[in-house]
């Protein structure tokens, strides 16, 4: 059993007293120079339940301001996210509107996962888009139960989105690829499986993230199960298949749900949820770790993470 890390001063941001936080969703707004992070959040107890999005922001990644709940699950039975607002991403589309894509849980028995969206003009106030996102809740046949955590990426002038999944019988994770069909980022179509993993990185891919490494002809896929993992390789420009060359753990088991964004200096920054921080007995649970810069190793064979 892991001993909880209770020293709050070690972390960038900790769960407020009496609450829980986990998976970060980072976004940097260059026009204001502000980093915005949305964290899965239970505002009522230090327990992993009743997922909301908590919003915090910072200019220096050291001192964070808590803006309270940005998105809350519906309390109307039958709504798509009545069971929780889970992890996703934030993207600014061409007309300046911010789009939050997230996994919603309509029911727990049976456990169902769909993708929903919300829109904002200021990253503070969000309006949910009714129903599920067109095309983004199409899960390919022949795969297991995991189907969550949408993450967009830009390739040329077109947006794509990956969603984390799993192969049958615990054989490994899978990343499903979707293509935007218009500029709203609210209409998508399923393309293909971007990449399939194996048991070395767990039975599924939670919190997937996919991005090109700065100053390198390499792509990095981040996934989480037991630990957060990096997968290094190339993206075939014709087939849009990720071809992995190497992989490894980002850190130990206490750092989880790695997600990234491009920072103020153009470098890729990654954040982790510290899941051994606090605990129910301490009256709070979960912390946001300090960000790290992502880079390619000197020999070109590994992904490295360095403190900012």
**Sequential DSSP letters for 56-111:** EEESSSSS-EEEEEEE----STT-TTTT-EEEEEEEE-TTS-EEEEEEE-S-BTTB
Q: What's the confidence (pLDDT) of residue 69?
A: 98
Six token digits for residue 163: 């969603």
Q: Which residue has the tokens 């510290």?
A: 274
Please tell me the distance from the alpha carbon of residue 160 to that of residue 44, in angstroms, as a whole number.
35
Please tell me the distance from the alpha carbon of residue 210 to that of residue 213, in angstroms, as a whole number.
10
| Chain centroid, CA 36 distance in Å | 13
Closest Cα partner for 12 from 287, 210, 302?
A: 287
Please tell me the distance from the alpha carbon of residue 143 to that of residue 177, in angstroms, as a whole number.
14
DSSP reduced 3-state for 8: helix
* The dihedral formed by the CA atoms of 299, 301, 302 and 304, expressed in degrees to the nearest 10: 20
Question: Is 97 in contact with 73 (CB distance < 8 Å)?
Answer: no
**Sequential DSSP letters for 16-48:** PTT-EEEEEEEEEETTTTEEEEEEEEETTSSSS
Full set of structural domains in the chain with CATH: 10-307 (2.115.10.20)
Q: What's the confidence (pLDDT) of residue 2?
A: 60
Six token digits for residue 246: 């190497």
Six token digits for residue 279: 């605990």
Length of the chain: 308
Question: Is 63 in contact with 132 (CB distance < 8 Å)?
Answer: no
Torsion 63-66-67-70 (CA) sign: positive
What average pLDDT values come out for the chain (308 residues) when binned by 10 residues?
Answer: 79 97 98 98 97 98 96 95 98 98 96 98 98 95 97 97 96 98 98 98 98 92 98 97 98 97 96 93 95 96 95
For 49, other C-beta atoms within 10 Å of its C-beta total 9
């Amino acid at each position: 059993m892991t001993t909880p890390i209770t020293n709050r001063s070690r972390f960038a941001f900790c769960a407020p007293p009496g609450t829980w936080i986990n998976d970060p969703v980072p976004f940097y707004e260059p026009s204001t120079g502000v980093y915005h992070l949305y964290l899965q959040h239970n505002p009522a107890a230090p327990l992993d339940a009743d997922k909301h999005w908590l919003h915090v922001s910072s200019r220096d990644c050291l001192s964070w301001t808590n803006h309270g709940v940005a998105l809350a699950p519906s309390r109307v039975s039958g709504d798509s996210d009545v069971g929780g607002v889970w992890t996703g991403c934030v993207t600014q589309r061409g007309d300046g509107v911010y789009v939050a894509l997230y996994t919603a849980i309509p029911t727990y028995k049976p456990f169902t996962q769909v993708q929903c969206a919300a829109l904002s003009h200021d990253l503070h106030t969000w309006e949910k888009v009714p129903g599920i996102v067109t095309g983004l809740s199409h899960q390919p046949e022949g795969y297991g139960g995991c189907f969550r955590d949408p993450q967009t990426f830009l390739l040329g002038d077109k947006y794509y989105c990956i969603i984390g999944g799993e192969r049958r019988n615990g054989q490994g994770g899978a990343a499903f690829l979707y293509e935007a069909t218009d500029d709203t980022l609210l209409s998508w179509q399923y393309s293909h499986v971007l990449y399939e993993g194996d048991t070395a990185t767990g039975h599924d891919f939670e919190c997937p993230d996919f991005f090109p490494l700065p100053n390198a002809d390499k792509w990095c896929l981040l996934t989480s199960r037991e630990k957060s993992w990096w997968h290094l390789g190339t993206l075939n420009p014709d087939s849009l298949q990720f071809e992995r060359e190497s992989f490894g753990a980002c850190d130990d088991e206490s750092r989880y749900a790695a997600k990234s964004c491009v920072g103020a200096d153009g470098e890729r920054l990654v954040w982790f949820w510290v899941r051994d921080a606090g605990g129910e007995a301490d009256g709070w649970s979960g912390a946001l770790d300090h960000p790290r810069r992502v880079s390619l190793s000197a020999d070109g064979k590994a992904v490295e993470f360095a403190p900012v």
